[in-house]
Amino acid sequence: MATQAPRRARKKSQPSSTNIVTASPRSLIEILWMALIPLVLLILAAASSPVSQLGLSPVYGSIPASIYHQRLVVTTFLLAVAAQAFYRYHMLALVSAGFWCLPVLALVSPILQILLTKRSASLGPSLGPLLTELCTYFPLLFFSVLSAIVGLCAALRIGNYGHRTRTTLASVVSYTLFVISQMISRNFIEENIGKSLIVTRFGLQYVIAASYTSLLRSRLSLLVCLLLLYPLSQNNHLPLKYTTATVNQTLHGQGYSLVARRESLTGYISVLESLDQGFRVMRCDHSLLGGEWIDRHGSARSKLGEPVYSCFVMLEAVRLVECNSCENLFKSDREKQALVIGLGIGTSPSALIAHGIATTIVEIDPVVHQYASRYFHLPQNHISVIRDAVSYVKELQGAAKDRGKYDYIIHDVFTGGAEPIELFTKEFLEGLSYLLNAEGVIAINYGGDLLLESASLVVHTVLSVFPKCRLFREEPAPVGKILEKDFTNMIMFCRKSKAAFGFRKPVQADFLGSQARKDVLVPEYEIQAGYFEIAGGPDLRPAVLRRGDTARLVGLQQQNALNHWHIMRTVIPGVVWENW
């Protein structure tokens, strides 16, 4: 005879995120379930890595923002492994705290990033990115990795593994998955950034924060949702109409106005106008791609546009090169062809087109080309190639019909405070030499500190391909003092022949009605060849930059980018850089 009321059978539940630490799996399904949350945490942490860098690049530049990043990622992993080993008897409390705070950390990071980047002028390009990520990304990474390793260790309890073995396996799996996910995330962002509101810098941060909250089902979810209201309403970096209006309220106080902005694969692209000085520039992250003078109605002062920066005008001097054996002198401009690598606002290619030269422009960033056409009057009668210059030139090398096709080549690439290394390798320059005809001229713009080894390395690489070059700087060299830095634009005019060459005297038609071209079209401040001689004398064979062997230039490029950051802060106020 039954003496108790019947009871309902309790349903078996999957291990929750908070009891993963102590749970022991009894089947393959439970192992997979217990491993799922740790693996997703690692994927989210890996996706946050490039997103964190993107949030810093408009204020510091992509290179300064990345200097310490990867080293700190490795350090954070080691700290998480050490914490798991030393605090194994307190893991439940530590991981539970991590589960509670991860959604909040993911959400608060964009807010802290905004607040800290407002202090970029005092922090500088070295300390600023480091301090910002120590307060935002790396706490998120630490708790994500720690929770993942503990969760994977719990999933491995089904075997006869000791604690040390489980920790080692979990750590190796975690780091491998992180690196792969980081690479996939970076490639995805590069291919899709700016295509929708979600795939923007802060759109991605909000998606990551929402994913953490949904995955961990934290009781702080309500607080997270409330905190979302602040960045959504106050975050001026979101590319919306009302946020753009708010940005302009701040910029007008500095005498500037934001005309247009978009996120793209080379960085944050925007068009700015100086209301006081009357010029318009195109910005890419923390560098300027060029500018022109405008009238008070926002129109160019001349039909072609009056350039602000002389280096882009100097590149047009490829048309003025002459020598005793040059047959090009007998060809009219309309019979010639030019290849331009790197567009900027289009100062040099616009001039070539205006002279009637058939011009092909290779630009990797579609937004740069779009803005150059819309806001800087780039003529439409040219061939535009929107793709990576390295692959394009390599493709042309395989076509015999393109050998010696171009009379002029202009090589003008600059982004993130330094030149793309691959576009200065011996192999790439040999490709350009293949495309240049026997009497042709190439002009190469190099922006950097001429006292650094990187400048010497680039010059020697160029001279290894083109036997005769003349080098000019944008402005006179400082005299009368010992220099610690010499940051400037250097234009290298080169030919495939060893014959000496000069520049003809320009006529009125060469100036295209531009006062700037009258002033600076003819290169003036020449750098003597001995300036870049390496220690040991001219008989010592100098090193050149080869494809696949560019590590030597990376560290030097970082110093160039840091120097460039300080220069940009003297050109445009820091408040303008910070309010992007």
pLDDT at residue 165, rounded to an integer: 80
Q: What is the pLDDT of residues 515-540, one digit of tens each?
A: 999 999 999 999 986 788 754 444 44
Known catalytic membership, residue 295: no
pLDDT at residue 74, rounded to an integer: 95
Closest CA to 424 of 543, 524, 267: 543
- Active-site option among 412, 486, 519, 549: 412
Long-range contacts of 239-244 (CB under 8 A, 24+ apart): 239/197, 239/200, 239/263, 240/197
Residue 384 to residues 166, 335, 371, 373: CA-CA distances in angstroms? 56, 19, 14, 11
179/176 Cα distance (integer angstroms): 5
CA 543 to chain centre: 27
93/326 Cα distance (integer angstroms): 79
Nearest-5° angle of CA 76, CA 175, CA 169? 110
pLDDT at residue 536, rounded to an integer: 41
Q: Domains in the chain, start-ordered, CATH in brackets?
A: 28-234 (1.20.1250), 306-548 (3.40.50.150)
pLDDT at residue 398, rounded to an integer: 84
Q: What is the pLDDT of residues 196-247, one digit of tens each?
A: 889 999 889 989 988 888 887 766 556 666 666 666 566 788 878 888 888 9
Residue 550 to residues 109, 277, 346, 392: CA-CA distances in angstroms? 34, 41, 29, 20
pLDDT at residue 526, rounded to an integer: 94
Q: Write down the H helix ranges in 440-550.
A: 453-465, 515-520
Residue 346, Ramachandran bin (φ over 0: left; ψ between -120 and 50: alpha; else beta): left
Residue 356, Ramachandran bin (φ over 0: left; ψ between -120 and 50: alpha; else beta): left
Q: What is the pTM of this model?
A: 0.88
Q: What is the pLDDT of residues 276-308, one digit of tens each?
A: 999 999 999 999 999 999 876 555 556 678 899
Q: Are 393 and 405 in contact (CB under 8 A)?
A: no
**Strand 256-264 relative to strand 267-274, pairing:** antiparallel
pLDDT < 50: residue spans in the chain: 1-16, 18, 21-22, 535-540
pLDDT at residue 13, rounded to an integer: 45
R_g of the chain computed on alpha carbons: 28
**Strand 502-503 relative to strand 436-449, pairing:** unpaired
Q: Are 350 and 377 in contact (CB under 8 A)?
A: yes
pLDDT at residue 530, rounded to an integer: 75
Element (H, E) at 362: strand 358-362
pLDDT at residue 28, rounded to an integer: 56
CA atoms within 13 A on the CB side of 433: 19
Hey, is 409 helix, strand or coil? strand
323/157 Cα distance (integer angstroms): 79
Residue 148, Ramachandran bin (φ over 0: left; ψ between -120 and 50: alpha; else beta): alpha
pLDDT at residue 51, rounded to an integer: 96
> Which two structure tokens, joined as six digits, stand for 88?
């194994």
Residue 526, Ramachandran bin (φ over 0: left; ψ between -120 and 50: alpha; else beta): beta
> Which two structure tokens, joined as six digits, stand for 399?
């076509």
280/290 Cα distance (integer angstroms): 9
Question: Which residue matches tokens 């997979």?
Answer: 32
Element (H, E) at 274: strand 267-274
Burial track 291-301 (b if 16+ CB lie within 10 A, e otherwise) = bbbbeeeeebb
Backbone angles phi, psi at 291, to 5 degrees: -165, 165
Fill in the DSSP letter of residue 13: -
Sign, CA dihedral 472-478-482-483, equals: negative
